Amino acid sequence: MKRILTGFVIAFAFLTFSQTVFAAQYDAAQRVSAVGENLLLKNSIPSSDIKFEVTSKAVDNSTFAQDRIISIYANNLKYAGNDNETAAVVANELGHIIAGHGSRSKLVSSITGTDVSGGSDLAGSLVENYKNTKEEKEADVIAVNLMANAGYNPLAAIVVLTKQTSTYWDAIAAQPANAQRAMNIYDYAHYAYPNSVKSGYNCVEYKNFLTYANGILEERKESPKAQKKLDKELKKYRKDSVSQITKFKTRGAMSGWDALWGILKEQ
């Protein structure tokens, strides 16, 4: 028995060591360009002059239309353990660019001469948080489309989000990190790409998320009215996100806000 236990301990130690070494071998930053180029190619987005860079600074990519550089925040990549998860990080940033979030803020600030952020007061912070959450959800939905079209598992976007540290309130409410965004991704993926949801995602973070999500799904069964409202929202998400990607492609990889910015600069 002692010999068997000793063998088990050695085998377990070897397996743990092997998994650690394997995990350490994956470098998300080194995979950004290859994964990013695949996302562009498989979605038929003109990419001949587009470059990817990893930066330690927070990014908004509001200058993408001019410099054709897609900046990826290095801090977000530390939660990516494979190409699916790296694709989730890159696709989210592409989602912001396609929706024109950075260029819209730049344009509004230029016209009004004021900072469009909410400011430091409580009311301003609430407005800014609402704006950020809304924009992130919009970018997430676009990202799911881009990932699915490129052959990546869109559920990886949930995994990357839930690997992050929860806020104090999330912990008290027994919610995973970024629970609202993660649930939105799950709902949209289930609506637009049901086969991906059926296939699942084999990792602890996703299994933990499902525990949270299943509780919400059970509550929805008791409220057909709420489910009907959600279905309507998901249908709109689908229509709007596909339209945004299509228009981005037809403009030669440029958002509507970038196009408007170019027109105003010529006046």
In angstroms, the CA 80 to CA 144 distance is 16
24 confidence band (pLDDT: 50, 70, 90)? low
Residues whose CB is less than 8 angstroms from the CB of residue 221 and which lie 6 or more positions away in sequence, other chains included = 227
Query: What is the rounded average pLDDT for all residues in the chain?
Result: 83
Q: Kindly report the pTM of this predicted structure.
A: 0.82
Question: Which of the two residues, 27 and 170, has the higher pLDDT score?
Answer: 27
Share of the chain above pLDDT 90, in %: 63
Q: Would you state the pLDDT for residue 36?
A: 98
Q: Would you state the pLDDT for residue 265?
A: 60
* 236-252: average pLDDT: 96
Beta strand pairing call for 51-55 and 69-73: parallel
In angstroms, the CA 167 to CA 171 distance is 6
181 confidence band (pLDDT: 50, 70, 90)? very high
Report the candidate in 265, 267, 161, 146 with the shortest Cα–Cα distance to residue 213.
Answer: 161
pLDDT (tens digit, 9 = 90+) per residue, 35-62?
999 999 999 999 889 999 999 998 889 8
Q: Give the Cβ contact number of residue 209 at 10 Å.
A: 26
25 confidence band (pLDDT: 50, 70, 90)? confident
Residue whose entry in the numeric block shows the structure tokens 């037809």 = 250
In angstroms, the CA 233 to CA 29 distance is 35
Q: Would you state the pLDDT for residue 5?
A: 37
pLDDT (tens digit, 9 = 90+) per residue, 221-240?
999 998 999 999 999 999 99
Q: Would you state the pLDDT for residue 123?
A: 41
Under DSSP, the state recorded for 52 is E
Q: Would you state the pLDDT for residue 103?
A: 81
Q: Would you state the pLDDT for residue 6?
A: 41
The three-state secondary structure class of 54 is: strand
The three-state secondary structure class of 27 is: coil
pLDDT (tens digit, 9 = 90+) per residue, 71-129?
999 999 999 999 999 999 999 999 999 999 988 877 666 666 655 454 445 444 433 44
Q: Would you state the pLDDT for residue 112?
A: 63
Q: Would you say residue 267 has pLDDT above 90?
A: no
The three-state secondary structure class of 69 is: strand
Q: Would you state the pLDDT for residue 177?
A: 82
Q: Would you state the pLDDT for residue 126?
A: 34
